[in-house]
Structures are given as C-alpha cells and as structure tokens.
Amino acid sequence: MIIKPKIRSNVFTNCHPLGQEQFILNLITEAKKQKPIGSKKNVLIIGGSSGYGLASRIALAFGMNANTINVSFESGPKGKRTGTAGYWNNIFFQKHTKNYPQTDKDFNGDAFSKAMKNDVIDYIKTHFGKLDLIIYSLASGARKDETTGALVRSAIKTIGTPAKGHTIELAKEEVTPLNVEAASSEEIKNTVFVMGGSDWQTWLENLSQNDCLNDGVKTISYTYIGGETTDAIYRNGTIGQAKEDLEKTAGKLNQLLKEKHRGEALISSSKAVVTKASVFIPQMPIYVACLFDVMMEKGIHESILAHKYRLFKDMVYGTKAIKDDDGFLRVDHREMQSDVQHATKTLMAAYTNDKIFTLKGTKAMLDDFYHMNGFGFSNIDYDQPVDMDALQQLKLN
Ligand code: NAD
C-alpha cells in the first residue's frame, strides 16, 4: 500500500508506519545524548503512546533504564487502514528497546475502565513489581461512564461569552477565522468528567489498595496554564475547568500518598507543544507557531523530548525544581517569561494571515505535525508501497 497524508480538521486519519519507526528512532537518539536522570525505577504511564506521555516514557527508559508499563488506546492496521500513529509508536518503542536492560509492557484499551485497571494491577502484582512513578498523561475526547453506560464527550468551548479568533488549517496551510461557542453547564460538567482528575484519583486509590506502590512513590500529571492569548479558549474555557479539577486532585492524592507511602502527587505545568491533542484546540496552532518562532529566535526553544527530560532530570528527581505558589512544577517557565509572551502576542497580531507561513516557527510546527504521524522524513520514499503484511507480524508484548 502507498501511504500519503490524510488529514481532516487538523487530525491525521492515517500514518506512515515506516516513518513512525523513524520518529521513534529520532526520539531515542535524542534521549541517549542526555545525561543520566537517576536510579532505575518502575514506571506506569497512562497515555504513553504519543505526545507528552511518549516523550516521558522515552526520557525515563533511556535516562534511567526505567521499566515501563504504558496504557494507551490505539487502533492497529485493518484492511486499508494504516493503524494509528500511537499504535506503531508502541510497536517500534518495544522493538528498539529490546536489547536494553529493562522491561516494557503495553496495554491497549480504555484506561478509564475498571477492567483495564484490574488487568494492569494483576500484571504489576504477578510480573512487574511495585511502582515508583505513575504518569497520568491522558488526552481524550470521550469517557464511558461505567455507572450509566453512557459515553460522555468533552467540549472545547469558552465559558460565558463566545470567542472570535483564528486558527490554521494545517493540511491546506491556510489561516481561517474561528468562532468558539460558549458551553452549556452540561458541557462544562462533561469536560471535567472526561479531562479532570477523577480517573487519576481512581487509578491511584486502586493501586494503593492493591499494594502496588513503593515507599516514596510519586505521581505526576500535566496541566497547561498559558497566557493572555490562550486564556479565553483554554484556561478560562471548559478545558481550563477540567485542568482546575485535575490540579485539585493532586492535593487529595498528595494527602493519600504522604500518609500511606511517604510519597507525593505533582502537577507540572508544561509548555505548549505540537501533539495530536494540542493542534485540535482552536487557536493553538497560531499560538504555537508564533511561540516557537519567538523561542527559537531567543535560543530557548525545546523539543517535546527535551522538555520532559528536563522535567524529570532537574525537577522531579533533581534539585532544580521551579515551583509556583500552588506547588506546581513550572517547567513552562521559559514560555511564560514576560518577554516571550509579549513577543508572541505581537507576532500573533501581525501575522494572523498567510504571512504566518514565512515564519520559521510555523515551519517547525508543521514539521512536528507531519513527523509525529510518520511523514516528512527525507530518508523515506513515500512513493514506495509499504509492506503492511510484513509489518503486521510485529506484535506488542
Ligand atoms: P496526545 O493526544 O498526544 O496523547 C494522549 C494519550 O492518551 C495517547 O497515548 C492516547 O492513546 C491516550 N488515550 C486517550 N484516551 C485513552 C483511553 N480512553 N484509554 C487509554 N489511553 C487513552 O496528548 P498530549 O498533548 O500529549 O496530552 C497529554 C497531557 O498533557 C494532557 O493532560 C494535556 O492536557 C497535557 N498537556 C499538553 C500540552 C500540549 O501542548 N500538548 C501542554 C500542557 C499539558
């Protein structure tokens, strides 16, 4: 099968498996160049097949030879379907860690479900050993409510008044106007149910009750704070409400972990990067393009891997943690510098039209967008057919 990019509303509906292998190899090469993070740990990553969860997994697997369990929800290839990028990321992560002194296990299915939690707990008890770190890095548009059987959907909307702005139609490389509607109270509640902290809390409570946590265990989840230009849609919108709930959950978990395991629960406010979830958020592509440009110009741009690597090396397991008044780890401090925010806002005002495609920040954002779906690698001939039958022999452990 010859595979060319298929994109709808900034979402890839396919991926290139050979490019996905290159993507993973590049992340591994980048991780191997970094200094060691600390002693080996047992890590569970919920949402480790792409974006920040995958970057965390690779940073820890190569920074400290961490044993990792990943829970993600991905589709394998079927007929003319290539399978999702995250599916192949998991396959190639395992393939390229085979010769390293660590255990890698992947569970593919719904992390919100009781059944998945039980399967992971069984595996920890029978094969893996107690956990030292749990990373909660889910980004999902829907969650099944197991008490009612209903599928609850999140909504990315404002609260109170609608917002007007612009976004980038990435496939067409076109700037388009944007109207984001105000959410109903039901939509706000549903978004908090899907993207808030209740599932993170259930995971930790279940793991604790089943004696799966080591003394000194840590758990971390990723929030986004951002600034003036993203506030209306992000922090003051439905997703911001969900993040506030997630952040409050860290407080409850901290209590539980401290008392029972001498552990802690952490929130890291992470920088805006290009992921499957972020490019889908209205206005984010324009913000990220301009932010990248400003940070590149100032010499402080970081890749997704470097960002997570620094979080673990300097902050979670290091002595250079930057904490705010709420106790959040502010690994986003460079993005939040007032000169960076000011320059990004100025650039956004001047470049909210096709001129934006002249920026090197936009080029970097588009490169990340294509690379994370296996496209745009110069060593891959995209006119050649991909032998999907042979690739399907690769199975997950
Ligand atoms: P992503 O879309 O790249 O990754 C989401 C992960 O969740 C994938 O591994 C996916 O398989 C998994 N997932 C989704 N639904 C699932 C389910 N039901 N069961 C099991 N796995 C499921 O997203 P991302 O951008 O890396 O986001 C991860 C976290 O980081 C989110 O909390 C997000 O808000 C936060 N964050 C992201 C950014 C950013 O710029 N991307 C910035 C700050 C914080």
* Residue 243 alpha carbon, nearest atom of ligand 1: 34
- pLDDT at site 186: 98
Task: Give me ligand 1 centre to Cα 192, in Å.
Answer: 15
| Interval 188-224: pLDDT, tens | 999 999 999 999 999 999 999 999 999 999 999 999 9
**Which residue is associated with the tokens 């899907």?**
194
Q: Average pLDDT for residues 130-155, to the nearest whole number?
A: 97
Q: Which of 328, 315, 318, 212 is nearest to 260 (CA)?
A: 212
Pocket of ligand 1 contains residue 277 by CB under 6 Å: yes
Q: Which residue in 87, 136, 222, 234 is the catalytic one?
A: 234
CATH code 3.40.47.10 for 7-391: no
| Interval 21-38: pLDDT, tens | 999 999 999 999 999 999
Name the residue ranges covered by the structural domains of the chain. 7-391
Q: Average pLDDT for residues 158-170, to the nearest whole number?
A: 92
- Is the backbone of residue 327 left (phi > 0), alpha (psi -120 to 50) or beta? left
Within the chain, strands assigned E span 7-8, 11-12, 42-46, 67-72, 104-108, 131-136, 142-144, 151-153, 163-169, 174-180, 213-223, 264-269
234 as an active site residue: the answer is yes
pLDDT at 354 over 90: no
Under the banding of pLDDT at 50, 70 and 90, the label for residue 353 is confident
Under the banding of pLDDT at 50, 70 and 90, the label for residue 282 is confident
- pLDDT at site 386: 97
Burial class (CB in 10 A: 0-12, 13-18, 19+), 350: exposed
Q: Average pLDDT for residues 134-147, to the nearest whole number?
A: 97
* Residue 111 alpha carbon, nearest atom of ligand 1: 19
Under the banding of pLDDT at 50, 70 and 90, the label for residue 377 is very high
- pLDDT at site 66: 97
Residue nearest atom 14 of ligand 1, based on CA coordinates: 140
Which residue stretches of 167-237 are H helix? 185-195, 198-209, 228-231
pTM: 0.98
Q: Which of 257, 239, 246, 224 is nearest to 331 (CA)?
A: 224
- pLDDT at site 280: 85
Q: Average pLDDT for residues 237-248, to the nearest whole number?
A: 98
DSSP state of 176: E
In whole angstroms, give the CA distance from residue 321 to residue 160.
Answer: 36
pLDDT at 283 over 90: no
| Interval 316-331: pLDDT, tens | 999 999 999 999 999 9
Burial 97-108 (b: 16+ CB within 10 A, else e): beeeebbbbbbb
Please check whether residue 158 is in contact with residue 183, taking contact to mean a CB–CB distance below 8 angstroms. Answer: yes
Pocket of ligand 1 contains residue 34 by CB under 6 Å: no
Fill in the amino acid letter for 228: E
Under the banding of pLDDT at 50, 70 and 90, the label for residue 243 is very high
Give, in degrees to the nearest 5, the angle at Cα 117 between 243 and 53. Answer: 45
Backbone angles phi, psi at 75, to 5 degrees: -110, 135
| Interval 214-232: pLDDT, tens | 999 999 999 999 999 999 9
pLDDT at 397 over 90: no
- pLDDT at site 376: 98
Burial class (CB in 10 A: 0-12, 13-18, 19+), 297: middle
Pocket of ligand 1 contains residue 239 by CB under 6 Å: no
How is residue 84 written in tokens? 């999702």
Pocket of ligand 1 contains residue 87 by CB under 6 Å: no
